[in-house]
A and B are shown apart, each in its own frame.
Chain A
């Protein structure tokens, strides 16, 4: 069964700093790797989806990478802003066609 771990569990950075969130998974046979953000009291918003054949995806200040062989993905946020404060989750489906979520990283960007 796929297990997804996210480190760190919480992170505080000053505004403007670049940061990296980490996601590791045990089953490398994932079909894709997805990054979401969750704001308090809200559902999840999809940020980036990396297909298994891809190495990275970019959207604005966000860049996500995928290394299936090592079971790792990273989300890089450039020039962080207070509006980036949220919980970030990664998830990846395997042969069971089930989307396994990590435990999340709670990010606080301090103005």
Chain B
């Protein structure tokens, strides 16, 4: 059974469109994350939710809006997509926030390409 699953796996769309990426975890974890991995493979945190509440919100354009309907889901909605948004987006989860001593579990990523 997949622990952290993201959909879609690939997303190709036009500049200016609005799109959503969904993430679900079946590990019973309290904390979920969104990361962006750029073309140079650098991985950077975007958002983190703990028990459905936002605890980390890095400098990310407000075109990106996370939504956590429950502890098992953290979706990412992106408005007015730009060329620079092309990247791989990873969802992850952990039992505790990063300062705890539990590792993070990652999904396989969503490869977003903006035409």
Contact = CB atoms under 8 A, between A and B. Distances in A.
Contacts of B106: 36, 43-45
Contacts of A34: 103-104
B78 to A, nearest CB: 19
Given A43-B4, A87-B41, A104-B41, A97 B105 contact: no
Interface in A43-96: 43-46, 49, 51, 87, 89, 93, 96
Given A43-B90, A43-B109, A99 B104 contact: yes
A41 B110 CA distance: 10
B107 to A, nearest CB: 5
A104 B43 CA distance: 9
Contacts of A44: 43, 90, 92, 104, 106
B99 A89 contact: no
Contacts of B90: 43-44
Contacts of A100: 45
Interface residues of A, number: 23
Given A43-B109, A104-B41, A97 B104 contact: no
Interface string B22-53: 00000000000100000011111100100000
B46 to A, nearest CB: 11
B115 interface: no
A30 B101 CA distance: 11
Given A44-B90, A97-B56, A104-B41, A32 B101 contact: yes
Contact of B103 (A42, A49, A97): A49
A103 interface: yes
B105 to A, nearest CB: 7
A43 B108 contact: yes
B101 A49 contact: yes
Contact of A97 (B42, B43, B55, B92): B55
B1 interface: no
Interface in B67-83: none
